Amino acid sequence: MMTQAFYTGISGLKTSQGAIDVVSHNLANINTVGYRGSEYEFASLFEKAIAPVEHSTSNTIGVGSTLQATSLKETQGSLILTDRSTDLAIMGDGWFGVQGYEDPIYTRDGSFTFDANDDLVTTDGFHVLGTLGGNISDGTLTSTIDEVKLGDVKSQEKLQFPKSLTYPPESSTNAKFMGNIGDEYLVRTMGAGVVDPQNNKNHLKLTFTKDETQVLPGSQWDILATTESLDGETIYDSVPGRVEFDAQGSLISTTLTTIDNNGALINIDLGSGYDGVVALANTDINSSSVADGTIGGDLLGYSINRNAEVIATFTNGMQSSVGKIAVYHFQNDKGLERINGSKFSTGSNSGEAIFYTNADGENIIGSDVINFKLESSNVGMTYGITELIILQRTYDANSKSITTADEMMQKALNMSA
């Protein structure tokens, strides 16, 4: 029995030391962004029967304990506010993927940045994985996308973007005018800003002149549409027309349809009835217009929004998604194998990485991603210190049991002598 006390005490020392190592490692990473702590699990070694079951309620004696396993602590870490839109935190389940030397690496550390080549990388240079929008060709944005659809889990790639990117001009094709020109014999004008194929912002001007001779009921006006440069020095086209209003001032008809804008036709929409241009008496004179078309622009930079979209912003004020950061999931997060700090790889018990899907079967990130924030370690200082104190006392108790067994053995030897 005294020999067994040695074995029990020694196993207790090893078990306590292993747990102390786990807690110490957690405390050493308390300031590591995205760190998920480890939890220790003890197990009893074989037990030895010392009496029949019917003769004793305590019929076995243990032969020690062991540190059976360490498992991942899955609680959410607190959020840290930052000043960069490329800093991301996952709320709930999920992992960011970064390209390792061979296989993907998974992490909760979302401290990303755009490097000198405008590639999205971690602070230590690993490329972030995701789905590219496919709307960039030869340094030009080919289409505007609100949201990039997440591709297959095996097709995720490095999020690399061109350093120089152009938003191409979109010529105006339609201009709608609204307003009241009144019923007096005065010249009225309306205007709209329009874009031509050469990326110039031009002026489309409408001039209304009431006919001297009116056919009642209603009123008739001559209209002249002109497209010109903003400084008025260059006139691209001039088209005359005629509009008619009923006795109440609502628009009945117009002969003005389109006008050339330095190589592109623009449809002139004056509305109908009271929806558009009207000629109302005793009402304020006013006008407004809406025209499509966009002036071209150059890239200002990339940022990341709350939906994990990489957004390109241009000097013309336009924006477009050009990529989406992947958020991976696992059947058993506890089965992931720690590489170091906050980086993990798939393990035999974790299963392969998967994406969640919505009701339509489309891949989704499956968790909320918050920018301008990072997730801190999920190990608290108070909890770690408390565990360390308990384990240290357990270690001391096991050490004392070995000392006591040694003293008992020495006494036994002395008695036999």
Q: In terms of domains, do 351 and 387 share one? A: no
- What phi and psi values does residue 229 have, to the nearest 5 degrees? -65, 160
Tokens 């005629």 -> residue: 242
* CA pair distance 124, 324, nearest whole angstrom: 21
Q: Has residue 54 got a pLDDT over 60?
A: no
| Burial (Cβ within 10 Å: 0-12, 13-18, ≥19) of residue 332 | exposed
Tokens 């996952």 -> residue: 90
When the pLDDT of each residue in the chain is averaged and rounded to a whole number, the result is: 88
The closest alpha carbon to 95, from 353, 364, 374, belongs to: 353
Q: In terms of domains, do 314 and 398 share one? A: no
Higher pLDDT among residues 152 and 394, named by residue: 152
Percent helix, strand, coil in the chain, to 5, is 15, 45, 40
Q: In terms of domains, do 160 and 199 share one? A: no
Q: Has residue 57 got a pLDDT over 60?
A: no
pLDDT tens per residue, range 405-414? 767 777 777 7
Q: In terms of domains, do 42 and 67 share one? A: yes
Residue 50: pLDDT band by 50, 70, 90 thresholds? Answer: low
Q: In terms of domains, do 212 and 269 share one? A: yes
Q: In terms of domains, do 107 and 155 share one? A: yes
Asked if 305 and 371 touch (Cβ cutoff 8 Å), the reply is yes
Q: Note down the domain range covering 12.
A: 2-74+377-416
Q: In terms of domains, do 69 and 85 share one? A: no
